[in-house]
Every structure is written in structure tokens, then in C-alpha cells.
Structure 1
Amino acid sequence: MDGSTDLARGPDPLAALRAATHTRHEELDSGLPIGKDDASLADYAAHLTLLRAWLLPLQDWLRRFDDGPQADARFASDARLALLQADLDEPGMPASAVPAHAAAWPEDASPAWRWGVAYVVEGSQLGGAVLYGRLHARLAPHPLRYLKGDEAGPGPRWRAFMQALGAHVRSPEEIADACAGACAAFDRLLALRSSMP
């Protein structure tokens, strides 16, 4: 495929999102105890507690909209949060400090901005699958439900999400808005992480 075909297709939202969030993504990954070689069940509990503090208000906020990524039931996160809570409720799971509350999400966020936020949420599942492969034997018998996800793994959902994002976020303005939403999603998660002891 030559460059003219790429130009005819227009801007690439995925490339823009990756570039916009690269530094934040690295900062988050490098600072999570769950990513260490000697990660423990206590580290997993802290990870889940952090994600719950991020995802619960995020999900409540997203439910207020019926357009953008919220128009597609394939990308609902109720099942994901149920797995997260089931892992926290598992017998023998250590308690973890709850991070401070994050700032409220904007009431007037555009669909493109919310596609950017959803990009971060959906992408986190890819990282979860990698962590599951690395930790499931080490942290057994805990089932690590949240990291494992469903039997199909995160790949099919991620591909469907990227296809939908590419269909709805096309103009340079929409892509810039999506990048701003993705950066905000990372910034809120980083702020929560820094508030934990």
C-alpha cells in the first residue's frame, strides 16, 4: 500500500491517541506495583481498589449519555465492574486503602471526547490480559477474574471498539477532542494513584 492511499483515508485516530497518551501511559505503567516482578495479592487488591475508584464515577457519568460510544451496547462496562468487585470480595483478599475522590467528569463532553475516554478504558483490558498471563500462577488460587475477562479475551472487543472509533472519530477536530478525552482519563487515574498511600 502506498502513502497516497493512506492520505486518501484521512487522519488515523488510533495513531493520534497513542501519540497523545504515550507519556502518560508509560508513567502509569511504570508506577503500578501490580506491574512489578514480585507483585503480590496485596498489590492486586490495591490495583483493583484504584481502578474501582476510577471506573465507578466514570461509569455513572457515561450513563448520562446516549450517543458516542454509549450508543453501542457492546462497550458497556457493567460486567467488567462486576468481575472487579468479585475479585475484591474473594476470601483472603487483603484490604487496601481507598484513593481520594477524583474531580467530576464534564457534563458537556462531546461524543469524540468520550470516545477518547473509552479508548483508555478499553485499552486497559489489553494490559489486564498481559498481567493475567504473568500473574495467574503466582497469585493462585485467586482467580484474577478482572484481569482474565471473558473467555474470548480482550482482542475481539478491542478490534470492534477500534472499528467503531474509526467510524465515528474522523475529522481532525474530532481526533483532537478524542485525544483530549484520553489524556483526561489518564490524568484522573494518575491523580488517584498519587493519592494512595
Structure 2
Amino acid sequence: MSALRIATADRHAVLDTGMPLALPDAGLQHYSDHLHMLRRWLAPLEAWLGRYADGPQGEARLPAVARVALIDADLADPALAGVRADARPEDAGVWPDGASPAYRWGVTYVIEGSQLGGAVLYQRLAGPLAPHPLRYLRSGAEGPGPRWRSFMLALRDNVKSEGEIADACRGACDAFDRILAMR
């Protein structure tokens, strides 16, 4: 949805250039830092989203992806032995109780969209960071494209009114703001 892209464009640009893996010579320490930051953001966010059974967590739900488990597996990989771990706590901010389905569609838009960026990073870093398997960035054998297309179709089917679109944009902006605050 163009409204979501427009609402988040500036935040997306800041995130793309400010993440640990944005450096042209990113190494395993940067990957570890990237994973720790994503875990601090994603673990409480996934727990919050898991409390709902409608919207993107309802019938339109895509098959679950164990993103935090992929992050944990990457952090435990022997290739990161000796790499300094980031011990900062998880995001302590409170996501809104009773958030509308449209707001949660916006939040989920950011999570799902991050996998597209991860696939680009995987292509760039698979060789330089070998033998680390980069599980989190790899996003499956088929890549993130088919899942993204399915998500966008479900989003379009479920977020239609001006109010819903505005609420989805707020959710997406809040999701970006929370991860940007962790850099």
C-alpha cells in the first residue's frame, strides 16, 4: 500500500543506513550486534502480537516464522564464538492494549518487510561472513518474495477505509520508531 510506504519512507531510509550491517565492511561483530538489536525489538513485539486472534493474527495469518528462534540459532552459531554479545535489555516499551487490527497490520508490515531487506543483506554478506549460515537473513529456500506478496494481498483485503489506513500507518511508524530508538 502506497500510504504505508509514504508514511514510513523517511524512517526506512534512516534504518537502512543506521543498522550495524549497513557498513560496507560489516563483519561478524556487526552481524551479532544486528541480531541482538532485532531480538530486543522483536521478542516483545511478537509476544504482544501473539495475544491477538484477529487481523494479521487471524484467518489471514501467514504460516508462522520462528524469527526469534532463528536469531537465537544464529547467535549460538560457533562462527560467533568470541564475538562480544550485546547485553542490553529487550524493548521495555508497552505496545497498546486493544490495538486495532489495522494498527497491527501496520506493525506486521514492518516485520514482514524487514525480511526483504534481510534477503538483500544475505546476498551481500553470505560470502564475507562464511562459514556463518546467516539463518535469520536467509529467509527460506524460496526467499521472501512469495510470502511478501501473500502478505500484501491480505493487507489490501483487510485494511481499506481511510481510518484503517491511517491506523495501519501509525502502527508501522511506531514499529519503525521503536527499532530506531535501539540503534
Relative to the length of structure 2, the TM-score reads 0.94
Of residues 154, 161, 168, the one that matches 1:164 is 154
1:97 aligns with 2:77: no
Distance 2:140 2:127 in 1: 18
Residue equivalent to 1:11: none
| Conserved? CA contact 1:117–1:178, under 8 Å | yes
| Conserved? CA contact 2:4–2:169, under 8 Å | yes
Distance 1:96 1:169 in 2: 40
Distance 1:33 1:88 in 2: 15
State the AA in 2 paired with 1:141: P
Distance 1:115 1:137 in 2: 35
**Could you say what secondary structure the match of 1:95 adopts?**
coil
Distance 1:155 1:81 in 2: 20
C-alpha change, 1:118 and 1:75, in structure 2 (3 Å) is: farther
| Conserved? CA contact 1:53–1:98, under 8 Å | no
Instruction: Structure 2: give runs of 5+ residues left out of the alignment.
Output: none
Distance 1:106 1:155 in 2: 30
Residue equivalent to 2:57: 70
Distance 2:117 2:106 in 1: 17
Computing the radius of gyration from Cα coordinates, the structure with the larger value is 1
| Conserved? CA contact 1:24–1:187, under 8 Å | yes
Residue equivalent to 2:178: 188
**Could you say what secondary structure the match of 2:165 adopts?**
helix
Residue equivalent to 1:113: 103
C-alpha change, 1:131 and 1:163, in structure 2 (3 Å) is: same
Distance 1:76 1:99 in 2: 27
Q: Deviations over 1:71-109 (max 9, x none)?
A: 1441533x2222111100001312322334331111121
State the AA in 1 paired with 2:163: E
Residue equivalent to 1:32: 19
Q: Percent identity?
A: 58
| Conserved? CA contact 2:55–2:105, under 8 Å | yes
**Could you say what secondary structure the match of 2:182 adopts?**
helix
Of residues 151, 169, 181, the one that matches 1:179 is 169
Q: Report the CA distance between 1:67 and its aligned residue.
A: 0.2
State the AA in 1 paired with 2:45: L
Distance 1:81 1:36 in 2: 24
Q: Deviations over 1:43-63 (max 9, x none)?
A: 000000000001100011011
State the AA in 1 paired with 2:88: P
Relative to the length of structure 1, the TM-score reads 0.88
Instruction: Structure 1: give runs of 5+ residues left out of the alignment.
Output: 1-13
Distance 1:76 1:114 in 2: 16
